[in-house]
Every structure is written in structure tokens, then in C-alpha cells.
A and B are shown apart, each in its own frame.
Chain A
């Protein structure tokens, strides 16, 4: 099953469930039916969007910087150049 098929199947399932609720075909308490169900899709989209944004922000904030790795590398490059020149390899 491709990811597209997976996503679309789940989407179809959720949509049908929602349609059942939306059309009043399921026994749902009145306050829920009138106040919650109609706005559920928008609420879901906004929440999902907010979740993604939060994930992105968190990811950027916790993105490790590694200056030590850079310094170590610079030193090793110097070592490398010395060794390589000895072995007759051009390094510029």
C-alpha cells in the first residue's frame, strides 16, 4: 500500500465518520451536535497546523550547533595536508 493510498483511506474513513455525525445520523447529545460537530473540521485543521508549527519551532530551537566539531576538523585538515604532501599528493 502506498503512502498515498494509506492517507486517502484514512481520510475517507474519517470523512465518512464525520458525515454520519454531521448529518445527525448518529445519536449524539444535543449540545455536541449543535456546537461541536459543525466546527470540528476547522478546529482539527487549525490544531494540526499549530502542532506542525510548534514542531518546526522546537526543531529549530533545539538544533545542535557543533563548533567543536568544526575546530577538530580544521586541525585534522592541517594534519592531513602535511601528511599528504609527504606522500606526494597535491593539496591546495
Chain B
């Protein structure tokens, strides 16, 4: 039986990530070449005013080669901030791989976990592999007590109300089979924070097999974090909305 050739497409929505983008691209390239895996990076930039697209084009010149499979990096921008969900839908059109990776551009999600997630997926042909900060030897860096409390509290609320069966529901570092991602996104309605959560809850409800891999989450080195009282209210609305809908 011929071995199946897999290709891993990274979907990276960006907004003002000119400092993080080159580094994350470098790390991705390193990781995938060392692991000997076929990959591509699709950058969906929402019209960043800070010149993210200029950097993206420089990266394209630096990393893409002619010939089959040489187009490693693709820039597929949009005119403005149109939301995370639609960014994924937009990016998915250009995916040529059979697996899609969702992650953050600010190295809170380190590409070194991708080979681990890929191995995990092969173990039992999982539909989705998600990173967890809460289980095993996962963890965080740069979070004070308050931040940890909020994070654990939020996860506990979601866990109790939704009983999803994954330890890190709000995480957004995931490997999907391409067809699975397409199906789940079609069914997802939320915007913002709830979006990632809803995708996982819906995926579980649809009966997809999900595995978890502990990851370390290093909080933003460049850029500010967006967490406030308003976000918390939004989050609770999201959780209970899902409780009602799914």
C-alpha cells in the first residue's frame, strides 16, 4: 500500500503582526524542514495599517521557490477587519493541503508542537488535535495569578456549562483534517472569542474524534493582550449562547 503523502496548510489570519510574522514564518519553516513534512502558509491579512503585507511579500521572496510545491507562502489579504471566522473561510479556499493548522501569529503557539500534534493525529486517525495548556506538561509563561485565575475560571465555566470533553476549550492551536474544518466552520455562527470555543463544541457534537496535546503558551512578547471586563461579559454570553444552541 503506497504511503499517503500529507500536506499541512497553516492558516494564519493577521492584523498588525509585522513584527511577529517573520519570526513565526522562520520557526514554521525550520520545524517543517527538520521534520521533513510538506507544508504551506496562508496569510490572511485584514488590511493591516502597519505594513504586515510588505513583510509578507518579503517573506514570499525569501522562502518561495520555483517548481512544484515551491509556493510555500501565500498572501491572501482582505480589505479590512472582517472577523476571524470569515478569515478562515477565505483562507480555506487557497488551501492545497489535506490538513489545516489554526494558530496565533504571535508565537504564543510554538510551531515545535506541530510535529507532536501530527504524530498524535496519526495514532488513531483523529479528526482534530488540539493543544491544551491545562493538562499534562502543558503550561504558560508570563501570566500572573490574576490572569491564571481568570483563565482557569473561564475554562471552568465553559467546562461545567458545556461539558465538552476537552480540557482547554478556549485554546486556538489546532490541527484539523481539511474536510472536518470546512464542515465545522460552516456550522459555526459566533464572532470573536466564542468562535474558537463554538468550533470545538460543534465538532464534538458532530461526533468528530478529538485528541489533545499539552502545549506551552508563552504570552505575547510583542503586542498587547486584549482582556478586560467587557471581554469577560462577552465570553459569558458566548458560553451560554452555546449552551442554548448546540
Binding site for B on A (CB under 8 A): 2-4, 7, 52, 55-56, 59-60, 63-67, 69-70, 73-74, 76-77, 79-81, 83-84, 87-92
Contacts and interface: CB of A to CB of B under 8 A. Distances in A.
Contacts, number: 102
A63 B136 CA distance: 10
Contact of B55 (A2, A70, A90): A90
Name the residue among A2, A55, A73 with the largest chain B CB count within 10 angstroms: A73
Nearest to B51: A90
A90 B22 contact: yes
Interface of B: 18-19, 22-23, 26-27, 54-55, 58-59, 61-63, 107, 110, 133-134, 137-143, 145, 148-149, 151-153, 155-156, 160-163, 216, 218, 221, 242-246
What's the dominant secondary structure at chain A's contact region? Answer: helix
A13 B134 CA distance: 33
A63 B153 CA distance: 12
B148 A60 contact: yes
Contact of B243 (A4, A76, A87): A4
Given A66-B216, A92-B19, A59 B134 contact: yes
Contact of A60 (B18, B145, B160, B162): B145
A60 B153 CA distance: 9
A26 B22 CA distance: 71
B19 A76 contact: no
Nearest to A83: B26
B139 A77 contact: no
A69 B141 contact: yes
Contacts of A80: 22-23, 26-27
